Amino acid sequence: MTTGILFAATDVRWAEYEAPLRAALDTTGLPYALATDLPPETVDYIVYAPNSSLQDFGPFPRLKAVLSLWAGVEGVVGNATLTVPLTRMVDAEGLTQGMVEYVTGHVLRHHLAMDTHIVNPRHEWTPIAPPLAADRPVTVLGLGTLGLACAQMLRTIGFPVTGWSRTAKSAEGIRCLSGAAGLLPALNGAQIVVLLLPDTPQTRCVLDAETLAALPRGAVIVNPGRGPLIDDAALLDALDSGQIGHATLDVFRQEPLPQGHPFWAHPQVTVTPHIASETRVASASRVIAENIRRGEVGLPLLHRVDRAAGY
């Protein structure tokens, strides 16, 4: 029987994905039909972007799984019509490596005070060397695939790294804390904090007035995770008071970030346009094809979402 695969994303994504996805599917040896429009009764898998116009999964009687092209699934995980397994995009070749490069670059930028020398309109000679990495504690909030990879890279460079997660984790060379009781200890003493948590009701505003106050004065925030992880008003207050020295933000509650938002004009905020970890089409196509192959031969799907946890 032919495996029916519906591609449910934007027209731009279809133009990007059609050839690489077909090439990846061809390697599986499965007979398949891949299209953006298939009779609902023939669809076995939906390759999905949460911003797709498809929001009702009820009309697909033989649907086996929905395979998201995005790492974040908060826009679909609560859909009541979605009763089959849902997977999220975890791609070591593209997403993970891209995130490691972004986080490492910006942590080093702040650690080395690069902005002082790059933006120096008065041509001031300030020969103050930064501390070594070993003297700059970094905390990574979130020890999933992306967070753990970033924490390990920062540890390799020489930073003392603390990782915090909602549930207990362990990683060699990284101080791992978890749960509500571990959050403030994870933040105490952290001069740079990287946020790589999912967006769930339990993680929203994980950085608020209380937790920002737990950081040493002048600490730096790097958020390439999810916009709602930070209380925007509390962050602005902390920046204005000097409690937080700088915030580099790649994700926001509303995207694109509105032109009048205070983050744009704040001298201690760097805005990047959600570029920290872009899905790479070729490698993401291979992840999707492998999950379809696994589904067809009865193997467990990779990166299956835990609906209760939300990721």
Phi/psi at 11 (5° precision): -60, -35
Give the residue extent of every domain in the chain.
3-91+279-297, 92-271
User: Residue 274 catalytic?
Assistant: yes
Per-residue pLDDT tens digits of the chain, which is 311 residues long: 999 999 999 999 999 999 999 999 999 999 999 999 999 999 999 999 999 999 999 999 999 999 999 988 999 999 999 999 999 999 988 889 999 999 999 999 999 999 999 999 999 998 989 999 999 999 999 999 999 999 999 999 999 999 999 999 999 999 999 999 999 999 999 999 999 999 999 999 999 999 999 999 999 999 999 999 999 999 999 999 999 999 999 999 999 999 999 999 999 999 999 999 888 899 999 999 999 999 999 999 999 999 888 88
With b for 16 or more beta-carbon neighbours within 10 A and e for fewer, the 176-191 pattern comes to bbbeeebbeebbeebb
Annotated active-site residue in 110, 111, 155, 226 = 226
The single-letter code of the amino acid at 127 is P
CATH fold of the domain at 3-91+279-297: Rossmann fold (3.40.50)
**CB-count exposure of residue 118 (10 Å: 0-12, 13-18, 19+):** exposed
The three state secondary structure string of 179-243 is HHHHHHHHHCCCCEEEECCCCCCCCCCCECHHHHHCCCCCEEEEECCCHHHECHHHHHHHHHHCC
3-class state of residue 21 by DSSP: helix
Domain at 92-271, CATH homologous superfamily? NAD(P)-binding Rossmann-like Domain (3.40.50.720)
User: Residue 253 catalytic?
Assistant: no
Residue appearing with tokens 């695969």: 5
Same topology, domains 3-91+279-297 and 92-271? Answer is yes
Phi/psi at 76 (5° precision): -130, -20
Task: Report yes or no: 127 and 104 within 8 Å, Cβ to Cβ.
Answer: no
